[in-house]
Amino acid sequence: MDIYIGIDVGSVSTNVVAMDQNDHIIFKEYTRTNGQPLESVKKGLKLLEEDLKRIFYTVKGVGTTGSGRQLAGILVGADIVKNEITAHATATVNFHPTVNTILEIGGQDSKIIIIQDKMVVDFAMNTVCAAGTGSFLDHQSERLGVPIQDFGGLALTAKKDVRIAGRCTVFAESDMIAKQQYGFSKAEIIKGLCDALVRNYINNLGRGKALKAPYVFQGGVAANKGIKAAFERELGCEIIIPKYYNVMGAIGAAILAKEYIEVSGEETKFRGFGAAELAFKPRSFECEDCANCCEVIKVELNGKTVAIWGDKCGKWANSVTG
């Protein structure tokens, strides 16, 4: 069997998928990054290697995406390294070709992608405001003493509506505490919180955009039934949750790798599963040669620099001879 591997390295999760030549997902792994992107990619690759022992296979291509895509790309020998917008849109269009709007909420960022005729025509990303992300919900679930997996289900049992100020995490938290003191139940507070998060998301990311059904909602937060229901109330229509909602970026990277290999006819640059054992050493420094003060990331293998990125002018990246 020919397989294509996709890896999505984000700040919260690292996802690894393997797909066959017919775009069937034969392996998927969602793991916490825990601030160690290299280690989490290695772990994902080891689990994949173990899983693949059950079949005869040839790795034909590998793609990486996510905020750690360059690092992961160097580690595995990726054939393509793509941004998250392209990767997510590719996967969604593959499974839901008529999609017009992709709503994506992950652990620490969120995005909206507008699609027309299977092409990305507009998008927006939020990487700075925690109020519209999974980490905000995690924090509130801890504060309310309700496990995050029960959070959405509990919201669906609310008898009354309560409006929570969701513009920022600090306001939301103090407003929730006040509403609890007024006697609203946990279910009602959580429903109010889901509505606040969705309002915040639509107002910030959807502002000025042509939001149109069909809507596909993906990312880790798509597991939360309360948020899905809040989107349906706000947008007035049904929201589709894809089967592989929490690994769509990795699937997109695998599909893009497959397309690249098929079109170019090249052999994959995949280093093999042994790459997980290689001692890559990443480090960062701030370039002070101009006012941009870029944070430059440098990766070394056996004392040799194998990759540099983060420099806006290419001054450092161009010095890598390969």
Q: Least distance to ligand SF4 from the beta carbon of 320, Å?
A: 13
CB of 274 to ligand SF4, least distance (A): 33
Using CA atoms, how far apart are residues 306 and 320, in angstroms rounded to an integer? 7
What Rg, from alpha-carbon coordinates, does the chain have? 21
Closer residue to ligand SF4 (CB): 161 or 295: 295
175 binds ligand SF4 (CB under 6 A): no
Beta strands 80-81 and 13-20: pairing type? unpaired
When binding is defined by CB under 6 A, the residue of 32, 160, 233, 312 that contacts ligand SF4 is 312
| Contact call for residues 14 and 40 (beta carbons, < 8 A) | yes
- Contact flag: residue 233 with ligand SF4 (CB under 6 A): no
Number of residues engaging ligand SF4 in binding (CB under 6 A): 11
CB of 314 to ligand SF4, least distance (A): 7
In the complex with ligand SF4, the residue whose CB is nearer, 46 or 315, is 315
The one among 116, 203, 264, 292 contacting ligand SF4 by CB under 6 A: 292
C-beta of residue 137 within 8 angstroms of C-beta of residue 197: yes
Binding residue (CB under 6 A) for ligand SF4 from 50, 55, 293, 304: 293
318 binds ligand SF4 per the rule CB under 6 A: no
Sign of torsion over alpha carbons 300, 302, 303, 305: negative
Q: Applying CB under 6 A, which of residues 125, 287, 301, 320 lies at the interface with ligand SF4?
A: 287
Taking the CA atoms of 187, 193, 197 and 199 in sequence, report the sign of the dihedral they define.
positive
CB of 33 to ligand SF4, least distance (A): 26
Binding residue (CB under 6 A) for ligand SF4 from 142, 161, 267, 289: 289
The tokens for 168 are 């920022």
Output the six-digit token pair for 166.
């969701």
Place of tokens 């290419």: 314
With a CB cutoff of 8 Å and minimum separation 6, the contacts of 311 are 287, 294, 296, 317
Cα of 14 vs its chain's centroid, Å: 8
The stretch among 40-48, 236-244, 286-294, 298-306 that binds ligand SF4 (CB under 6 A) is 286-294
Q: Running DSSP on this structure, what letter comes out for residue 267? A: P
Piece of 157-165, 247-255, 267-275, 290-298 that binds ligand SF4 (CB under 6 A):
290-298
Interface stretch with ligand SF4, choices 85-93, 144-152, 268-276, 312-320 (CB under 6 A): 312-320
